[in-house]
Amino acid sequence: MTLDSANETLVEPAAPVVPAKTARVMADRLVFLDALRGFALVMMVLNHTGRWWQDRSMGWPWYYSIYVTMAVAAPTFLFLVGFCLPLSLAKARGALADEMLPTLWKYAKRGGRIILAGLLLNVVVFSGLLEHGFSALVSPEEPIWSNGVLQTIGFGIIVAAPVGLLLRSVSARYLVVAAAVLIYLAFGWSYQALSAWVKVHPDSSRVLFFEFPPWPWVALVLFGLVPGQIWVEQTDSRRRHRYMVTMAAVGVLCIAWLFAYDWWAQTPNRWMFKRDFILNNHWTPRGATAVWVIGMAFCLMAAFYYLAEVRRLRMTWLVTLGQTALMLYFLHHLIVLTLVNQYLHQKFNNWWFYGLANLALLIVLLGLGRLWLEIRRVSRAKLPALAAFRT
């Protein structure tokens, strides 16, 4: 059934109505959500090239570029995890009870694979394996069990999937938002104690509190479930447009709140890491910065919806990067850190050269992404059993 014919049947109380609505939502996801994920990947790449291809001699523009790209990239990925789960859970939510466990097992496997990918990244890139061989596994440069954003994403999927099945009532949504806020606030309340704990437990702290640790960042995944569920329930273009206008307005208010708060409180160290939580030498937004992070996620989502659904821009290159984000996240570490920084010892402490190097890198990543999509297409056609295993 085409989307046009599905729209015509919406006036009839027929059984195909719900699948038709879900199909339309999923079609939207392929454009603006994947494009937004691709944009987040670009921000992540720029953050890493800024860290590993430049140094402090580039001054404050370098510092602020790292701060802003970090504050946009990983939070956007984590928010998208929560936002997208209700889209894929829409069918399972109405299924019989005996189908719930297989559904949850599917998401547990998906989260587990992402966690394993993060650990593999530690082994291949950060342990010194490529430089020192297998002896690096005995005495790695950095512990292979260290947490990273991939591990937090995987853990977030495992935790948020069962919660996403319970969001049909308004009260349940309020409870999830309240739980997310409490998780974040509890981190802030415990910050001094945690700072002391990580100094006493350096090894354990790298597992629990390193790069974007599950506590408190899983709160952003849980929070994203609620706007994602509300989005699923917008069943026609007019309601979806109105939803995104509201999201953009809320996002602008959140961003404005940061500047208004800083003006009112005369905040020192504005737009610097010193204003936020720094635990185990890694960043977590504090107070008004956390509100700004949510505002940026809302505004970016509304902006990409506008570009995809209103302006009808295809944004094919961003969609490609978004659909292959996990693979490219892994590979770009090998290029940016292992090859260029550690093996070639290259620095680009000239903004023109740095910009050209990043452009070349993104072209390479785009080519790898398209190649990966083609490999997946061929493998699914010729190896259906492998495709079934991935689900």
Q: Give the residue numbers spanning the domain of 144.
A: 3-390
Domains contained in the chain, number: 1
User: What band does 140 get if pLDDT is binned at 50, 70 and 90?
Assistant: low
Alpha-carbon separation of residue 296 from 36, 37, 255, 269, 292 (angstroms): 12, 14, 7, 20, 6
Rounded to two decimals, what is the model's pTM? 0.86
Q: Say if residue 137's pLDDT is above 60.
A: no
pLDDT one-digit tens code per residue, 313-345: 989 999 999 999 999 999 999 999 999 998 999
For residues 6-33, average pLDDT? 48
Q: Say if residue 294's pLDDT is above 80.
A: yes
> For position 158, what pLDDT does the model report?
96
Report CA Rg, the chain.
Answer: 22
Q: In the structure, how many helices (H) and strands (E) does the chain have?
A: 18, 2
pLDDT one-digit tens code per residue, 151-170: 999 999 999 999 998 898 89
**SS3 helix, strand, coil % of the chain, rounded to 5?**
80, 0, 20
For residues 142-155, average pLDDT? 89
Backbone angles phi, psi at 277, to 5 degrees: -75, 130
Q: Say if residue 390's pLDDT is above 70.
A: no
pLDDT one-digit tens code per residue, 68-116: 999 999 999 999 999 999 988 876 665 555 677 888 889 999 999 999 9
Q: Say if residue 5's pLDDT is above 50.
A: no
